């Protein structure tokens, strides 16, 4: 019985204007996004070849992450070059572009398209499932047969989910396969596995919004009202909550601004260098070197303290904003997707820890007068680690949302007056 | 007649569920957003003043000319308008180790965003069934059975819809502005209010465009369920996709070399290649000199040539000529290679500028970008302010350079034995960087282009809606 309903849903979808426009839009957007971000990745890869440190140099630079084509996240911040010198870590602007329009709008990557457009598309598939069929009278006819409401709802859900998910998967997989043809974009087995996981998260996210659509549709008498409610919920969940949540978290945790921190650093090192020179002048030639060393150490300790203090506060801000933002499934999706791709906040923070550790090792080299430094090596967290450190929570959260919404939808449908 | 139509539209809208839903959303979101933003703005003001006093304390004891410029870099102070509009003011500072990547993940929510996304969506929700919905209900037929021209019906729908949408928005904004007025630490001046007024005019045109667009789409469809699909797809393209793709598109069409590549090439030009050129030029000069002073051709050790120079004045002259000419050759090499490197940088900057221009132009197809540029330029949080800030910084750097030269000169005259570059000095009379917002007139003049494009788009949509409606089968 469910099979028949699923078939009927898919058939009616395939013939509808809605399916045509919406799938066209999705295909177009995904294809454009893949192409544009693939080109962007190639450009950054070419840049990386230029800044790649020579053996012995104390420079930490990561190669651009091929998965950033799908989830750009913080990849641009992570692939900057960090040079270790006598007064700490110097950051080169990396691949910052002179094109100022980039600053205005978020990158249109796969994650963005799924987060914004696919969620909307899923709602469009769900919003009229119950209320429209009541309006047209189909629902009454269907219920006059001996079919349980649970089966009708499951059939509807599956039919619509398949007619949305299959074209989506096809486009995404074809795009991915085309990219693997380029020998310079090396996803490897790991990357492929992570991309598939990314797709799974996206499918879960779409399921959530489809369930939401069906729920609201079962709560309203008219499809038009259902759509209005859904669009507003969508705007709040996708845009308002996560964007406002971060700002609210900032009010609750006192984190110094980046500019304030950088000014403090400038003041510290210029002060210590001056003191070294002035004291050296007063004490005569022999004392200069010893003096210089103590002041460089002072700079280093002060910098480490500033850095440590900032990271503590910033981590607290990140945790709090994550907690607040997770009210919105869109934020959960972004966290899970970017962390899986290795371009998320957690990965960036871990990279910074590693770089600080690398700096300490290079400083030991300086102390022992060694000129050759070991190369910086960074291993991204494995997918298992990512899942264990919050990824699983986001996935579970999305799944729980979906199940609850579907359950509520079922409860509402059972009590629905189909006349 | 038109009055009656507008009244009917407004009444129908106000009683509808969508009006209640949109109004409720706006009345919650706008005041909450303004409350959070203004608290944040006040916090920024506090932090900025503590940053300033930190610098002044430093200057009292440790100001020395060699590294002073690192400490007193020009900084953008927080503006009063940050309580409503943020633009690109958030510091995603990519040049520091401790950066703040949160805005990359989730951009801020501000008034621009509320208008650009929520209001445009609401406008489409209000208008997607303007004509086809009435056709489905059969009221359009009845209306046209009276002697009402179609143009008037269209106008009535558009005016009535815009009014019913703008009123709850303005109400919610008034609540937000009360929040701002109650916050004593966010001090709004006359120019801020004037800028807000122009911004609201822009918002009205923006909303009008989407409303007319919805009416146009509804005139192209026979059923409202198809009309909403088209409307939403067009909205997604205009609002969520075209602006985001435009910089990427521009970088494909009008490529600029990457900064990393240029800096590598420039340093090669002024380093390895300069050495090669310098050696070659010096060798050529030496050949000429040897013709003039054959004595130079002898390969003497340093000590021997020193001894000989003392005895032989002609040889001494030759040596001096050699130093002079070789020095000149290296200067020449430096100049040539420096000019080449400069040309490389200039070329890159030109290309970057061209790319930014193209990206801006492409994105201006989308009304969202037009409105974003308009709002950010009006409130000094956009591209215009970035250029303005750069100009102010340059001016300040010049006056600072003059000051340093004059002070160093005076100090060295006082006591030439001291290394004044690396000694603490009193800099209480040093010119401080003072940020001044661009005058309101200039900011308003900057909005003419985006406002004009928005108005043009609205007119275009109106013409399209009119012609589609004239041919519309109302049965």
Q: What is the pLDDT of residues A165-211, one digit of tens each?
A: 999 999 999 999 999 998 888 888 888 999 999 999 999 999 999 99
Q: Residue A341 is inside which H or E element, if any?
A: helix A329-341
β-bridge mates for residue A400, sequence order: none
Please classify residue B139 by burial: count the beta carbons closer than 10 Å to its beta carbon, then call 0-12 exposed, 13-18 middle and 19+ buried: middle
Residue A51 banded pLDDT, cuts 50, 70, 90: confident
Residue B137 banded pLDDT, cuts 50, 70, 90: confident
β-bridge mates for residue A256, sequence order: none
- Bridge pairing between strands A59-61 and A88-92: unpaired
- B395-409 pLDDT, tens per residue? 999 999 999 999 999
- B2-27 pLDDT, tens per residue? 888 899 889 988 898 999 999 999 99
pLDDT-wise least confident of A50-64, A275-289, B313-327: A275-289
Both tokens assigned to A194: 């992570």
Given an 8 Å threshold on Cβ–Cβ distance, is B352 in contact with A97? yes
Instruction: Tell me how far CA of residue B422 lies from CA of B67, B397, B408, B417, in angstroms.
Output: 8, 20, 11, 12
Q: Residue B447 is inside which H or E element, if any?
A: none
Q: How far is B426 from chain A (nearest CA, A)?
A: 15
Q: Do B329 and B281 touch, CB atoms closer than 8 A?
A: yes
Q: Residue A60 is inside which H or E element, if any?
A: strand A59-61
The pLDDT of residue A233 is 95
The residue count for chain B: 475
Residue A393 banded pLDDT, cuts 50, 70, 90: very high
Closest residue to A345, CB basis, from B70, B105, B225: B105
Both tokens assigned to B295: 């004595």
Q: In what order do the strands lie in the sheet with A59-61?
A: A59-61, A81-85, A88-92
The neighbour count for residue A347, using CB atoms within 10 Å, is 24
Is the pLDDT at B463 greater than 80? The verdict is yes
Cβ contacts of A310 on chain B, cutoff 8 Å: 98
Closest residue to A232, CB basis, from B25, B39, B47: B25
DSSP string over A207-261: HHHHHHHHHHHHH-SSHHHHHHHHHHHHHIIIIIHHHHHHHHHHHHS----HHHH
Q: What is the arithmetic mean of pLDDT over B412-425?
A: 87
pTM for this predicted structure: 0.90
- A5-28 pLDDT, tens per residue? 899 889 988 998 989 999 999 999
Q: Which residues contact A323 (CB under 8 A, 6 or more apart)?
A: none
Q: Residue B283 half-sphere exposure, CB side, CA atoms within 13 Å?
A: 6
Q: Which residues contact B130 (CB under 8 A, 6 or more apart)?
A: B157, B161, B214, B215, B218
Instruction: Tell me how far CA of residue A33 lies from CA of A63, A104, A110, B247, in angstroms.
Output: 21, 17, 7, 13
Given an 8 Å threshold on Cβ–Cβ distance, is B64 in contact with A229? no
Rg (C-alpha) for chain B, rounded Å, is 33
- The residue among A139, A137, A168 whose CA lies nearest residue A155 is A139
Mutate to test the interface with B, among A16, A22, A31, A99 (most CBs of B within 10 A): A99
Question: What's the rounded Cα separation, in Å, for the pair B251 and A40?
Answer: 9
Question: What's the rounded Cα separation, in Å, for the pair A94 and A212?
Answer: 42
Q: Do B458 and B212 touch, CB atoms closer than 8 A?
A: yes
Both tokens assigned to B239: 């609002």
Question: What's the rounded Cα separation, in Å, for the pair B419 and A139?
Answer: 92
Both tokens assigned to B334: 């430096």
Inter-helix orientation angle B367-378/B383-414, to 10°: 40
- What does DSSP assign to residue A390? I
Tokens 């703040």 label which residue? Answer: B100
The neighbour count for residue A250, using CB atoms within 10 Å, is 20
Question: What's the rounded Cα separation, in Å, for the pair A269 and B12?
Answer: 68
Q: Which residues contact B370 (CB under 8 A, 6 or more apart)?
A: B206, B364, B450, B451, B453, B454, B457
Closest residue to B229, CB basis, from A22, A92, A255: A22
Residue B89 banded pLDDT, cuts 50, 70, 90: low
Cβ contacts of A349 on chain B, cutoff 8 Å: none
Mutate to test the interface with B, among A105, A164, A265, A303 (most CBs of B within 10 A): A105
Q: Do B215 and B127 touch, CB atoms closer than 8 A?
A: yes
The pLDDT of residue B92 is 63
β-bridge mates for residue A59, sequence order: A83
β-bridge mates for residue A373, sequence order: A56
Q: What is the arithmetic mean of pLDDT over B261-289?
A: 87
Question: What's the rounded Cα separation, in Å, for the pair B457 and B461?
Answer: 6
């Amino acid at each position: 019985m469910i099979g028949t309903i699923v078939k009927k849903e898919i058939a009616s979808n395939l013939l509808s204007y809605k399916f045509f426009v919406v799938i066209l839009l999705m295909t177009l957007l995904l294809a454009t996004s893949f192409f544009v971000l693939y080109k962007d990745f190639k450009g950054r890869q070419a840049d990386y070849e230029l800044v790649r440190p020579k053996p012995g140099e104390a420079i930490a630079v990561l190669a651009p992450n091929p998965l950033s084509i799908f989830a750009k996240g913080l990849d641009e911040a992570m692939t900057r070059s960090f040079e270790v010198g006598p007064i700490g870590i110097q950051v080169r602007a990396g691949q910052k572009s002179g094109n100022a329009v980039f600053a205005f709008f978020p990158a249109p990557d796969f994650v963005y398209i799924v987060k914004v457009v696919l969620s909307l598309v899923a709602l469009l598939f769900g919003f009229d499932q119950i209320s429209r069929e009541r309006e047209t009278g189909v629902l009454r006819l269907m219920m006059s047969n001996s079919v349980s409401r649970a089966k009708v709802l499951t059939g509807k859900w599956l039919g619509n989910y398949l007619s949305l998910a299959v074209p989506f998967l096809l486009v995404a997989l074809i795009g991915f396969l085309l990219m693997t043809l380029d020998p310079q974009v090396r996803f490897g087995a790991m990357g492929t596995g992570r991309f598939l996981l990314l797709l799974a998260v996206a499918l879960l996210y779409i399921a959530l919004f489809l369930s939401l659509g069906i729920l609201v549709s079962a709560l309203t008498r008219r499809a038009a009202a259902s759509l209005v409610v859904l669009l507003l919920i969508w705007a709040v969940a996708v845009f308002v909550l996560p964007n406002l949540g971060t700002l609210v978290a900032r009010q609750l945790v006192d984190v110094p601004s980046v500019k304030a921190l950088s000014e403090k650093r400038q003041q510290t090192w210029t002060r210590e260098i001056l003191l070294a020179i002035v004291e050296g002048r007063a004490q005569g030639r022999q004392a200069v070197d010893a003096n210089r060393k103590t002041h460089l150490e002072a700079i280093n300790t002060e910098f480490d303290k500033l850095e440590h203090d900032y990271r503590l506060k910033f981590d607290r801000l990140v945790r709090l904003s994550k907690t607040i933002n997770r009210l919105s499934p869109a934020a959960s999706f972004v966290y899970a997707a970017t962390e899986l791709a290795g371009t998320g906040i957690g990965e960036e923070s871990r990279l910074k820890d590693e770089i600080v550790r690398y700096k300490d090792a290079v400083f030991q080299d300086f102390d022992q007068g060694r000129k050759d430094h070991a190369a910086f090596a960074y291993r991204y967290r494995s997918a298992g680690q990512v899942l264990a450190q919050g990824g699983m929570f986001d996935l579970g959260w999305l799944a729980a949302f979906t199940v609850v919404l579907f359950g509520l939808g079922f409860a509402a449908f059972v009590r629905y007056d189909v006349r | 007649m038109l009055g009656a139509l507008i009244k009917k539209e407004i009444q129908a809208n106000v009683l509808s569920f969508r009006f209640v839903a949109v109004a409720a959303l706006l009345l919650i979101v706008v005041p909450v957003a303004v409350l959070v933003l203004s608290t944040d703005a006040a916090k920024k003001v506090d932090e900025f003043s503590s940053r300033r006093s930190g610098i002044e304390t430093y200057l009292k004891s440790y100001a020395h000319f060699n590294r002073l410029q690192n400490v007193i870099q020009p900084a953008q102070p927080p503006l009063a308008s940050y309580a409503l509009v943020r633009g690109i003011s958030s510091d995603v500072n990519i040049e520091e180790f401790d950066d703040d990547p949160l805005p990359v993940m989730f951009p801020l929510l501000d008034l621009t965003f509320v208008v650009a996304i929520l209001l445009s969506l609401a406008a489409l929700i209000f208008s997607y069934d303007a004509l086809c919905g009435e056709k489905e209900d059969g009221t359009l037929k009845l209306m046209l059975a009276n002697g009402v021209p179609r143009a008037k019906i269209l106008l009535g729908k558009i005016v009535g819809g815009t009014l019913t949408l703008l009123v709850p928005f303005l109400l919610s904004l008034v609540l937000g502005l009360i929040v701002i007025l109650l916050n004593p630490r966010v001090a709004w001046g006359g120019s801020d209010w004037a800028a807000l007024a122009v911004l609201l005019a822009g918002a009205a045109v923006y909303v009008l465009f989407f409303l007319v667009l919805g009416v146009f789409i509804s005139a192209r469809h026979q059923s409202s369920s198809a009309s909403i699909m088209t409307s939403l797809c067009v909205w997604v393209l205009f609002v969520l996709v075209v602006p985001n793709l435009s910089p990427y598109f521009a970088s494909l069409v009008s490529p600029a070399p990457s900064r990393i590549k240029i800096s590598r090439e420039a340093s090669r030009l002024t380093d390895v290649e300069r050495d090669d050129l310098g050696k070659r030029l010096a060798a050529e000069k030496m050949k000429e000199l040897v013709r003039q002073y054959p004595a130079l051709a002898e390969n003497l050790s340093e000590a021997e040539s020193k001894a000989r120079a003392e005895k032989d004045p002609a040889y001494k002259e030759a040596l001096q000529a050699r130093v002079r000419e070789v020095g000149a050759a290296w200067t020449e090499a430096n100049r040539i290679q420096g000019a080449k490197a400069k040309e490389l940088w200039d070329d890159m900057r030109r290309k970057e500028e061209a790319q930014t221009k193209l990206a801006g132009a492409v994105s201006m197809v989308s009304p969202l970008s037009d409105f974003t540029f308009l709002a950010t330029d009006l409130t000094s949080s956009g591209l215009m302010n970035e250029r303005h800030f750069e100009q102010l910084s340059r001016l300040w750097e010049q006056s600072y350079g003059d000051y340093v030269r004059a002070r160093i000169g005076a100090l060295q005259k006082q006591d030439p034995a001291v290394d004044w570059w690396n000694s603490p000095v009193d800099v209480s009379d040093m010119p401080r960087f003072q940020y001044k917002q661009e005058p309101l007139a200039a900011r308003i003049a900057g909005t003419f282009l985006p406002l004009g494009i928005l108005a043009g788009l609205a007119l275009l949509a109106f013409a399209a809606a009119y012609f589609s409606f004239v041919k519309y089968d109302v049965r």
